Amino acid sequence: MKRVPEPELMDDPEQALAYGRADFEEPHSKFIKLLVGFRSQVGHIDTILDMGCGTGDITFRVGRAFPDSVIDAIDGSAAMLYYAKEGLKKSPELEGRVHFIHGKIQEFAPGKSYDLIVSNSLLHHLSDPAHFWSAVKRLSASGTGVFIMDLLRPGTAGEARRLVETYSPDEPEILKRDFYNSLLAAFEIGEVKQQLEEAGLGGFETARASDRHLIVYGIRN
C-alpha cells in the first residue's frame, strides 16, 4: 500500500484532549521495556532528548526509568504541550529534570548533543523523513544511544481498519481517525532502512516490534 502522508502538527485542542485521556498503557509500557533492555548498550546517560513528546506520557515514563538523567522533550504542538505541562505538575519527582520545549525538531538547535535520543511515533508525522534523521544526526555525538519506535504501515487499508478496531475499540472517533491516518502515513521497515542509509546512519538496527510497530536502535558511531 502506498504511503498517505498526514499533517505534521496536531494543534487541534480536541485532538490534544483525546490524546491526553487515551489509554496508551500497552504500547508505552512496551516502549519502556524495550528501551530499558537497550540501555545496557549505552554508556553513562546524563542527558536525554525526547523527540515529538506529545502530551508527555512517554517522557514521564522515561524520566522514572532514568532517575539520574535530565530530559529535554520537544513537540511542535502547543496544544499537546499544555497537557504535558499539566501532567508534570502531578509528578513532582520529575520537576527540575524534565523540560518541555515548544518547537519543530527540524529547527531545534540547543547547542549540545545528548547521551540518549528517544522518540515514539514522530517519524510518520513528517512529510520528509530526512528531516527526522537529520535531527537525530545533528543532536547526537559518537556514543549517543538512539531508540526510536514508530508505527509500521500495514499492507492494506482494510488491515489498517482492523488494527484500529483491535487496539482502539473504545476510544473517541477522533482518536480512531488519527490512528487510521497515522497507520497509512507510517513507513515500512525497508523504507526506514533506506532512510538510515541515506542519512549516513546505516549502523542502526531496524526490526518489527509488534503487528503495528517498528523500532530503530543503536549507538551512533
Rounded percentage of the chain residues whose pLDDT exceeds 70: 98
- Do the Cβ atoms of 218 and 204 come closer than 8 Å? yes
**Sequence ranges of the domains in the chain:** 13-219
For residue 146, give the nearest of 214, 74, 217, 85 by alpha carbon.
217
41-81 residue pLDDT tens? 998 999 999 999 999 999 999 999 999 999 999 999 999 99
Q: Residue 203: pLDDT band by 50, 70, 90 thresholds?
A: confident
User: Taking residues 169-177, what's their average pLDDT?
Assistant: 91
The domain 13-219 is placed in CATH, from the list 1.10.490.10, 3.90.650.10, 3.30.1240.10, 3.40.50.150, at 3.40.50.150
pLDDT at 152: 98
Distance, CA of 184 to CA of 164 (rounded, Å): 11
